[in-house]
Amino acid sequence: MKKYLITLCLLFSHLAFATPDFSGEDGYNLWLNYRPLNARQQQHYLSQLGTVYIADKSATTSVIKDELKRATKGLLGQKLSAVSSAQSAKLVLALNNNQLTTPLGIEQKSLGDEGYAIKQHKGQIWLVANSDVGLLYATFDLIRQIQTLADLSKINKVSVPKVKLRMLNHWDDLDRHTERGYAGQSIFDWHKLPDYQEQRYYDYARANASIGVNGIVPNNVNANALILTPAYLQKVKALADIFRPYGIKVYLSVKFSSPHLIGGLENSDPVKPEVQQWWHDKAAEIYQLIPDFGGFLVKANSEGQPGPGDFGRTHAQGANMLARALKPFGGNVLWRAFVYAHDAKAERSLQAYNEFVPLDGKFDDNVSVQVKNGPIDFQPREPFSPLFGAMPHSSLAMEFQITQEYLGFSTHLAYLGTLYKEALDADTHTQGAGSTVAKVVDGSLSDSPLTAMAGVANIGMDRNWTGHIFGQANWYVFGRLAWDHDLSAADIADEWINMTLTHDKNAIDQIKDMMMNSREDVVNYMTPLGLHHLMDTGHHYGPGPWVDNLGRADWNPTYYHRADKQGLGIDRTASGTNAISQYAPYWQQKLANPATTPTELLLWFHHLSWDYTMPSGKSLWYELVHHYNMGVAGVEKMQQQWQRVKNQIDPNQFHQVEMALGIQLKEAKWWRDACLAYFQTFSQRPIPEGFPKPVHDVDYYKSLQFPYAPGQG
């Protein structure tokens, strides 16, 4: 009997060991994961916050109360007791303009519509704002302070967003397919709306409000005109009603040819009075349903989408026509600058600048031109787009991609905080040193008061929302930087880890190190040293540097890397495409010469010989091989680091990331081997000693097919 028992125990212990535990937190709660603090910490915060007074009553205050309840019950083991006077409360939430005069002497103006203050005052903690949405932001900040174990005893902060419109752009189709989405179907169930209102919508709104996102576009920029039909507008209204108390406005992607497609007009030429009238009437219809509707996002004359160019009109004429329809109701137009015209002779990286800079100053004041961070298309690394700084009389919005179309879908760990910061901190030198992209975007370097930052969402129906647990960090960091671009990527990573995964100091250090290096690892094993656009066709999954047979020259990777017997890289100096002429003189000078070009962008701007001597003293070929291998080594290191934190992470979350890292390593090697095998056919040089040779020949890598890779356009 005893023997049996021992065998049974051994069997079960073995099973427990071998089977991952998927019963714990699976990521659904995101960073609003209110796990209980330890008893000492709970005691500490309860003594500071035990009783609460909330002065105002509104739909948003209900959200505040619910969230405070949920957070304190989870984190502190009990909810705060509500009291009926500010004097008797430890925690006071008050509108600055309320009859209840706050004792803090905060100037109302300094907080604006959405800013807030959190101040310790004579043993009380005050949350003060001019609006209830400001108070909601303050509440989420206070919760974050607790989740990150901050000291509240001397808290004294004022926080005001640096950018006005902080938006998520979903590239979600009405049939729930998500273009470039890798986390399952769209969360927006258009078929069941308006009547069926998923819990997810509320949790999505909470998550967005917690990071300050105040606008969402639920439908794809490759828009379906149906979204503006009465039946769909009812569905949009249902979403807007849900999101309103969270301070979130709904915008829509619209198809420029809607007047023709759903309005029955002969065409959609923006100078025609009947077309203008159609948009005016449509705007009035929308605002009747949704009084705080945000406005329109437009992809026009780009990748086959219709636009004003179809009638010989400019982007400004098209954008202003829509802006004038929205203006009486306070709406805005986000007009995308992601254009490369079908007939353009200019090299692709030049085209957005060529089309838009001549229009500087011609856009109405409720239009923002939405520019991707780099001149091509969300590559793992690009220089900043030369449009930033080149249109000082226009509002320029930043568009980042949060979904990892070009950085490993949802199976690669790539923390994008470092990418976003690199872009925002880049110095355009357009108005002297210090003219950073961030200052263009936050309006300090332009005469337009409209400021905006958009992120292409990575959200879907997967239980953990983003496919990869660490994809959540990219949603999080986008929101935090849109609020305040001066925050550092490392500090935001620190917050996110504390809130989402663990409070263990050593584990935080390991995980932060993984995150901070992860994007560079991806750059190294995919597109090092300024290479770009090497991905395979259509789905963009995996390497395809050999592709040279697509309908347009600038869809082919060969157009961008220009590998030949002599060397590698595209010459964008005066002897080549002269794209450097679009940058300020400071950069023109630097970029004209490989020796003064930042190494990480070398092959973006120069075609260099395989034997070119790199700053390290080694040849270009050697450094290329070295970088591809550094990328792979980086993933191996992440795997080791992750194993080290195993005991500090919820098993379910741990296993998800563990499995994804396994895929990432396989795919990093695949990228390295496929690219090096291919480039070697030009360089005709051996793989330097000490580095592994590609496992297969190029033909093998070329033969791989992925007809069902997710997210195709």
- Residues that are catalytic: 303, 377, 405
Is residue 229 involved in binding ligand BDP (CB under 6 A)? no
Cβ atoms < 10 Å from Cβ of 411: 18
Beta carbon nearer to ligand BDP, 183 or 233 = 183
How many CA atoms lie within 13 Å of 185's alpha carbon, on the beta-carbon side?
A: 8
Which of 373/411 has CB closer to ligand BDP? 373
Q: For ligand BDP, give the closer residue by CB, 205 or 352.
A: 352
- Minimum distance from CB of 385 to ligand BDP (Å)? 13
Pick the closest to residue 183 from 456, 401, 459 (CA basis): 459
Residue 93, exposed/middle/buried by CB under 10 A (0-12, 13-18, 19+)?
Answer: buried
Contacts (CB under 6 A) with ligand BDP, residues 291-330 = 299, 303
- Longest Cα–Cα distance of the chain, Å, equals 92
Q: Classify strands 567-568 and 608-609 as parallel, antiparallel or unpaired.
A: antiparallel
Alpha-carbon distance 177 to 198, whole Å?
18
* Measured distance CA(572)–CA(578) in Å, rounded: 5
Which positions ≥6 away from 436 have C-beta within 8 Å? Answer: 424, 425, 426, 427, 428
- DSSP state letter for 310: G
Sign of the alpha-carbon dihedral angle for 450, 456, 462, 465: negative
Kindly identify the residues of this chain, within the stretch 391-450, that bind ligand BDP according to CB under 6 A: 405
Least CB distance to ligand BDP at residue 355 (A):
15
Of 377 and 484, the one with the shorter C-beta distance to ligand BDP is 377
Q: In the complex, what is the shortest distance from the CB of residue 166 to ligand BDP, in angstroms, rounded to a whole number?
A: 19
Q: What is the dihedral of CA 702, 707, 710, 713, to 10 degrees?
A: 90
509 sits near ligand BDP (criterion: CB under 6 A):
no
Q: How far is the CB of 303 from ligand BDP (least distance, A)?
A: 6
Q: How far is the CB of 295 from ligand BDP (least distance, A)?
A: 18
Query: How many of the chain's residues bind ligand BDP (CB under 6 A)?
Result: 11
Closest approach of Cβ 561 to ligand BDP, in Å? 18
Report the DSSP beta bridge partners of residue 82. 52
Burial call 17-40: b when 16+ CB within 10 Å, e when fewer:
eeeeeeeebbbebbbbbbeebeee
Residue (of 425, 422, 420) closest to 437 by Cα position:
425
451-470 footprint of ligand BDP as x/- string (CB under 6 A): --------------------
CA-to-CA distance for 67 and 498, rounded, in angstroms? 18
Considering only residues 169 to 208 of the shown chain, the ones binding ligand BDP according to CB under 6 A are: 179-180
Q: How far is the CB of 711 from ligand BDP (least distance, A)?
A: 8
Cα separation of 554 and 557, whole Å? 8
Q: Closest CB to ligand BDP among 459 and 649?
A: 459
Closer residue to ligand BDP in complex, CB, 598/713:
713
Nearer to ligand BDP, 179 or 364 (CB): 179
Cβ closer to ligand BDP: 177 or 696? 177
| In contact, 573 and 591? CB cutoff 8 Å | yes
470, 515 Cβ separation under 8 angstroms: yes
Question: Would you say 171 or 642 has its CB closer to ligand BDP?
Answer: 171
Q: Which structure tokens are listed for 518? A: 């992860």
Q: Are 404 and 410 in contact (CB under 8 A)?
A: yes
Q: Could you give the string, one character per residue 604-643, with x where binding to ligand BDP holds by CB under 6 A and - elsewhere?
A: ----------------------------------------
Answer yes or no whether residue 340 interacts with ligand BDP by CB under 6 A.
no
**179 vs 382, which CB is nearer to ligand BDP?**
179
For residue 378, state whether it binds ligand BDP (rule: CB under 6 A).
yes
Which one, 179 or 536, has the nearer CB to ligand BDP? 179
Cα 164 to the chain's mean position, in Å? 16
Minimum distance between the CB of residue 322 and ligand BDP, rounded to whole angstroms? 18
Sheet containing 81-82, strands listed edge to edge, beginning at the edge strand earlier in sequence: 81-82, 51-54, 91-95, 124-129, 116-121, 156-159
Tell me the β-bridge partners of 459: none
Residue 377 binds ligand BDP (CB under 6 A)? yes
Contact with ligand BDP (CB under 6 A) among 49, 75, 94, 221: 221
* 625-655 core/surface letters (b: 16 or more CB in 10 A; e: else): bbbbbbbbebbeebbebbeebeebbbbbbbb
Q: Are 52 and 81 in contact (CB under 8 A)?
A: yes
> Distance between terminal CA atoms of the chain?
63
Of all residues in the shown chain, the one whose CB is closest to ligand BDP is 713
Near ligand BDP in 559-578, by CB under 6 A: none
Q: How far is CA 130 from CA 95, 162, 562, in A?
A: 5, 16, 56
Q: How far is the CB of 336 from ligand BDP (least distance, A)?
A: 7
Q: Among 338, 356, 605, 612, indicate the residue that binds ligand BDP (CB under 6 A).
A: 338
Cβ distance to ligand BDP smaller for residue 310 or 504: 310
CB 619 within 8 A of CB 627: no
Report the nearest approach of ligand BDP to the CB of residue 412 (Å). Answer: 17
Nearer to ligand BDP, 106 or 174 (CB): 174
What is the smallest separation between the CB atom of 241 and ligand BDP, expressed in angstroms?
Answer: 29
Within residues 684-713, the interface with ligand BDP by CB under 6 A covers 713
> Closest separation between CB of residue 404 and ligand BDP, Å?
11
Given 51, 98, 222, 578, the residue binding ligand BDP (CB under 6 A): 222
Closest residue by Cα to residue 681 from 568, 592, 594, 564: 564
Find the length of the chain: 713
- Kindly state the helix (H) or strand (E) to which residue 247 belongs, with its residue range: none
Q: Is the separation of the CB atoms in 384 and 349 below 8 Å?
A: no
Write out the E strands in 512-603: 567-568
CA-to-CA distance for 641 and 94, rounded, in angstroms? Answer: 45
Report in angstroms how near the CB of residue 405 gets to ligand BDP at its nearest: 6
Under DSSP, is residue 629 helix (H, G, I), strand (E, B) or coil? Answer: helix
Binding site for ligand BDP (CB under 6 A): 179-180, 221-222, 299, 303, 338, 377-378, 405, 713
